[in-house]
Amino acid sequence: MLIQMVSVGNRMPAWVSAGFEEYARRLPNECGLKLREIVPGQRTRNADVARIVEDEGTRMLQAIPFDHHVVALDLGGKEWDTAQFSGVLSRWLQDGRDVSLLIGGPEGLSSSCRQRAKESWRLSALTFPHPMVRVIVAEQLYRAWSLLHNHPYHRP
């Protein structure tokens, strides 16, 4: 299975890229993780933000192969603890389809992305800096995989 993180944003700080790559590297091929960056729309003082979010959403949807299981990272999604998320990852692995995780820009995901998603995941009630979400998701994927395989990384 391949997990594709489709995320609005490019030119991330080096620590974001390094953090994402560290956890992506740790995951085995059976649960590979790759990043697909979507260039954000130009946000100027008088920009039509709703149109920008819809355009970003269109480009995100174009990056998703038709047979992927799509999961939106969204404030309205389900919040899982580590054990629950490990079960979710196990279900994704057993399903056999590749997964696309959608991470919107500063204003979130377009309605078309939310509609395409079969699941919605809320990381936390806390607000995180947008670049940090990439690292948190990658780490949580590795942690869930570790828990499934009795790897010592996860210690409750």
CATH number where 59 lies: 3.40.1280.10
pLDDT at residue 33, as a whole number: 98
Distances 90 to 35, 53, 74, 96 between C-alpha atoms, Å: 21, 32, 21, 10
* Assigned domain for 134 exists: yes
- Radius of gyration of the chain measured on its C-alpha atoms: 15
- Residue 104 counted as an annotated binding residue: yes
Residue 81 in this model has a pLDDT that exceeds 90: yes
pLDDT of residue 91: 98
For residue 137, which amino acid is it?
V
Number of domains in the chain: 1
Percent residues over pLDDT 70 in the chain: 99
Domain-embedded: residue 115: yes
Alpha carbon of 5 to those of 41, 70, 99, 145: distances in Å? 18, 10, 8, 16
Annotated binding-site residue? 82: no
3-state SS assignment for residue 9: coil
> Quick one: average pLDDT of 104-119?
95
Average pLDDT, whole number, for the chain?
95
User: Does residue 155 form part of some domain?
Assistant: no
Judge whether 63 and 37 are in contact, CB under 8 Å.
no
126 annotated ligand-binding residue: yes
The response to whether 117 counts as a known ligand-binding position is: no
Least confident of 8-12, 24-28, 65-69: 8-12
Q: What is the pLDDT of residue 129?
A: 86
Residues 98, 4: Cα–Cα separation, whole Å = 8
Domain that holds residue 10: 2-148
Residue 35 predicted with pLDDT over 70: yes
pLDDT tens for 140-152 read 999 999 999 998 8
> 105: which DSSP letter?
B
Expressed in angstroms, the distance from the first to the final Cα of the chain is 26
90 annotated among ligand-binding-site residues: no
102 carries a ligand binding annotation: no
User: Is 127 assigned a ligand-binding role in the annotation?
Assistant: yes
Residue 57 within any structural domain of the chain: yes
153 domain residue, yes or no: no
**pLDDT at residue 156 in the model:** 65
* Residue 124 marked in a binding site: yes
Question: Does the residue 156 lie in any domain?
Answer: no
